[in-house]
Amino acid sequence: MRPSSALSTAVLALLAISAAASAGELEVKDLRSEALDQTLKVNILLPDGYRDDATRRFPVVYLLHGFGGDYREWERVGVVPEAAGLAAIVVMPEGDKSFYVNHHEDMKARWEDYISKELVAFVDAGYRTLAQREGRAISGLSMGGYGAMAVGLRHPELYASVASHSGAVGVPNFTADGEIAQRLLKIFGPEGSKARTDYDLFRLVKDLAPAQRPHIYIDCGSGDFLLDSNRKFVAHLATLKVPYEYRETPGGHDFRYWKSNVRYSLTQQLKALETAAQTKKELVASSESGGDFAGAWKLTVNYGDQDLDYDLRIQQEAGTWKAVLISPRSGEHPFKSVSVKDGALRMEIDRDIEGNSVTFVYEGKLQEGKLKGKVTLAGQSDFSGEFEGEKKKATSL
């Protein structure tokens, strides 16, 4: 006997429920937003085993839906079975048709504030998250791909990885007609508006300091109508020498394409969070072992029978060491590389000596409160000197 269409649909629905149950636990929560002056739904996928260990904490991936979708769109795409076995909480908020930015005209449509402030705080307060930058990633499809990039690049202190599937990455400067044109005008304002500049991904990624840049993942189907804009954005990243991963595979702007790519992107983002956490750990260790190097020093360099006096400024910004040598004879000269490892300082600086470009290498340690070490000339073993620095009491970095 051949089953009826209704029965087949029911069987498929039961299978889908079974798959969802095996892949993780879904919860739908209400979140009252002051930024939007309304209560919104949030779909939250808990990882396998979340209830089994009350002490274990998990990273969070925020998945943003597309234009015309809602907080359950990623569920309909199939993220529940695709995320099976991944040790992460997946948060899927409502985004309406907002593009996830604070709107130009409507002061009650502060969607960026909702996502970056209220939603993150809500999730961190209600779930066992790794409540730090290295424990958060943000991603999305289409409108949500743009939104993830915009929010992630504007808040690199919150997210260590940003991702986009078929993203509308050029939307602040899109030329459109009809209802979408009117909506974009209300969201981003007229041509040349501050909002269009503030939310321009091309500008955002250019202006972001290398030490602040999150991991960037982008994919787009080879048959997608947004393919050209994604290629242009990726070319922009390459021109800026910004690290990224880009995948272009067969597919269009549809659920089938997004389902076939979401597990890969989730996996890559979770790896990126692990890398960011390890890097932070190493930077903290480096800072702890070399924190006393930071400051302003009075430096004396001895080459045989010649003593030269300098000022030396050393500082650390977002985990990156920088230093400047200040000569009373020729002004400021930045070191091209500075590193601290196992309590030892190493600095390299290029100088012009009688028309020849040479690289001096300073290597030293703290000894009885002073900075002491040797100066060598890269590539020449027959040259060496010594330096000694005394930290100034008042610093101005």
Query: Per residue in 78-102, pLDDT tens?
Result: 999 999 999 999 999 999 999 999 9
pLDDT for 105 equals 83
Question: How many angstroms separate the CA atoms of 141 and 168, rounded?
Answer: 9
Give the mean model confidence (pLDDT) for residues 32-45. 98
pLDDT in tens, 44-65: 999 999 999 999 999 999 999 9
**pTM, 2 dp:** 0.71
Task: Decide which of 88 and 179 is more confident.
Answer: 88
In whole numbers, what is the pLDDT of the chain averaged over residues? Answer: 90
CA distances from 333 to 79, 157, 242, 312, 360 (A): 53, 31, 26, 10, 12
pLDDT for 38 equals 97
- Residue carrying the six token digits 């010594």: 386
pLDDT band at 340 (very low <50, low <70, confident <90, very high): confident
Do strands 380-391 and 370-377 pair parallel, antiparallel, or not at all (unpaired)?
Answer: antiparallel
Torsion of CA 85, 124, 94, 223, to 10 degrees: -40
- Asked if 69 contacts 35 with a C-beta cutoff of 8 angstroms, the reply is no
Instruction: Give the type of residue at 220.
Output: C
The residues, any chain, with a CB within 8 Å of residue 28's CB and separated by 6 or more, are 41, 42, 43, 44, 71
- Comparing 216-225, 234-243, 292-301, the range with the smallest average pLDDT is 292-301
Q: If you count them, how many residues does the chain have? A: 397
Question: How many angstroms separate the CA atoms of 95 and 144, rounded?
Answer: 8
* Best CA proximity match to 101, nearest among 178, 194, 192, 214: 194
pLDDT band at 20 (very low <50, low <70, confident <90, very high): very low
**Ordered structural domains, the chain, with CATH:** 15-285 (3.40.50.1820), 294-391 (2.40.128.120)
CA distances from 336 to 319, 321, 348, 362, 375 (A): 16, 10, 6, 12, 15
